[in-house]
Structure 1
């Protein structure tokens, strides 16, 4: 899957399901601060990622995600590993 498609899908569910302001989403924006998710929201996020991309992110994956670009790259890498 192309990164542009990953970004579009991810931004769509972040805006629609997690009520993130689309104007706050940029490659360099701080992922965790922008989302402001609690631990239950992260569980929901894992489920939404899995249903949209067919991959599962774990706690170790989220520790390495600082920016939205890191988030997109992590999903892209997980998809590549699956192939």
Structure 2
């Protein structure tokens, strides 16, 4: 994936949340709070990072994900990661 496309990355994150944590796809909106609304915990966040690393082929540093609170924050983090190559 050479061109960074926010919609594609949102879909990747949405698919990961549905597949890994059985989150209802209708609940996954850019502004959705990961911990409050989607019921993720810190272990889930680690699993999500591992999944996204596998999908993007990029190493994600845990500190890059410490500040994420919403689905859109994850999308931003992945976009920045892919742009950094």
TM range (shorter): 0.7 to 0.9
- TM-score norm. by structure 2 comes to 0.79
Aligned to 2:61: 58
Aligned to 2:35: 32
CA contact (8 A) 1:27 1:68 kept: yes
CA contact (8 A) 2:29 2:71 kept: yes
Task: Give distance in 2, aligned partners of 1:33 and 1:61.
Answer: 20
In structure 1, the gaps of 5 or more residues are none
- TM-score norm. by structure 1 comes to 0.81
Report the CA distance shift for 1:22/1:39 in structure 2 as closer, same or farther (over 3 A). same
In structure 2, the gaps of 5 or more residues are none
Task: Give distance in 2, aligned partners of 1:66 and 1:73.
Answer: 11
Q: CA RMSD in A?
A: 1.7
Greater helix share, 1 or 2?
Answer: 1
**Residue 20 of structure 1: how far off its partner (Å):** 1.0
Report the number of matched residues. Answer: 82
